[in-house]
Amino acid sequence: MTREPNDKDPKDPKPSDEVEAELEGPPRRDPTVEIEHAARASASAADVAPTDLQPTLTLPLWQRIVAMVAPAALGIPLVLSKTYALHVVGLGLALLAGYALVREVSTGLRAAGPVWSIRGRDIKWLPSALPAFVVFAVAAGLLWPTFIGQMPQSQDHPVHLTRAWHFVTQQLSHGQLSGWSDLWFAGWPAGEDYPPGGDYWISAVYLVTFGLLGWEAAYAVAFLGVLAACGLACYHFGRTYFGRTAGMLAGLFFLLDRGYYREGGWNYTVWWGVWPQILSTAFTILSFSTLDRVLRRGR
C-alpha cells in the first residue's frame, strides 16, 4: 500500500513553521483595533438601549411650541385685566405656558447630558435647580429697577428706610437696639412699637456693603431679597411635599398675585410697602418645610 504525497504520518516530525507558531503562542492583537471595536460596540449599545437621559416627551416639536405659545398669548393680556376673575384666569394660563417652557428646557438639558461645565467640572444639578432659578428670575424681573439702585418710593417704603437709617445712626452707634426717640411727632419707642426685623435686614445690607451702596440702593437690594426669599420659601415648601413643579407654581403664584389692600400680593406688599410681615412669613413657610426633614431624618 502506497502513501499519497498529501497524507501525513502522525509519527512524522512537524514542519519547522508549525513548531515556531506553537512556540510563539496565539497571534497578537493590535490594541488600537480592539479600542476601535469597543468604542463602536458601546456607541451602538447607547443608540439602542433606553437610558434615563433620553427625552420623555413624545409630542412633535410644533405641538410642544403651541403648548408654550398659546397659553402665553391668551394669558398675558388677561393678566393685565382690571377684572380680578380674568386676572386669575390669565395668571393660570401664563403659569401653564411657563411650566411647558421649563419642562421643555429641563428635558432638553437631561437629554443633552452634562453640557454645562465650569473649569472642566460638569454641573449636573442644573436641570433639577432650574425651577428655583425661574422663581428668582421672575422676582428679579418684577423689581428690575433695584438693579440700578432705585428703591420703591410709594406709601410705606420711605418710612422703612427712615427707620433703618435711624437704627444705624441714632441707636446702634450708641450701643442701643431700641429706646425712646424724638425724631417723629412727640417721640416714639423706636424698635418696640413695630417689629424690628425689617430694620435689622436693611441695616445689615447697608453695613455689609460698608455703606458703599448708599441707603436707597441698600434698601432696593434688601427689598428684592425679601421678595425673592419668600417666593423661594414657597417653592421649597411645595417641592418638599408635592414636587418641584408644584413648588415652582407656588412660588410664581406668590410673586404674580396682584393682591389687594390688607390682602397681600403685589398691591399690599410692593405698592403699599407692607413687607416686613412677608419676611416673617417666609421664615414660617421655610420652617414647615424644614420640619419634614427633621421628622424624617432626625436632624
Domain boundaries, the chain: 53-124, 128-299
Per-residue pLDDT reduced to its tens digit, 134-158: 888 888 888 888 877 788 888 888 8
- Tell me the residue ranges of DSSP E strands in 195-299: none
User: What pLDDT sits at residue 46?
Assistant: 44
User: What pLDDT sits at residue 1?
Assistant: 52
Buried b / exposed e along 233-245 (16+ C-beta atoms within 10 A) = bbbbbbbbeeebe
User: What pLDDT sits at residue 2?
Assistant: 53
Give the three cell numbers for residue 169.
Answer: 445712626
pTM of the model: 0.59
User: What pLDDT sits at residue 45?
Assistant: 47
Buried b / exposed e along 193-227 (16+ C-beta atoms within 10 A) = eeebebbbbbbebbeeeeeebebebbbbbbbbbbb
User: What pLDDT sits at residue 112?
Assistant: 52
User: What pLDDT sits at residue 60?
Assistant: 77
- C-beta of residue 164 within 8 angstroms of C-beta of residue 219: yes
Per-residue pLDDT reduced to its tens digit, 23-35: 555 555 555 555 5
Q: Judge residue 138's burial from the number of C-beta atoms within 10 Å of its C-beta, 0-12 exposed, 13-18 middle, 19 or more buried.
A: buried
- C-beta of residue 244 within 8 angstroms of C-beta of residue 128: yes
Q: How many CA atoms lie within 13 Å of 96's alpha carbon, on the beta-carbon side?
A: 18
User: What pLDDT sits at residue 115?
Assistant: 52
User: What pLDDT sits at residue 197?
Assistant: 83
Largest CA-CA distance found in the chain, in angstroms, rounded: 141
User: What pLDDT sits at residue 48?
Assistant: 44
User: What pLDDT sits at residue 50?
Assistant: 44
In sequence order, what are the residues at sequence separation of 6 or more whose Cβ sits closer than 8 angstroms to the Cβ of residue 43? none
User: What pLDDT sits at residue 28?
Assistant: 58
Residue stretches of the chain with pLDDT short of 70? 1-58, 80, 105-106, 108-127, 298-299
- Among residues 271, 276, 155, the alpha carbon closest in space to that of 226 is found at 276
Helical pair 126-142 and 214-242, crossing angle rounded to 10 deg: 140
- Among residues 127, 75, 73, 138, the alpha carbon closest in space to that of 104 is found at 127
- C-beta of residue 149 within 8 angstroms of C-beta of residue 220: yes
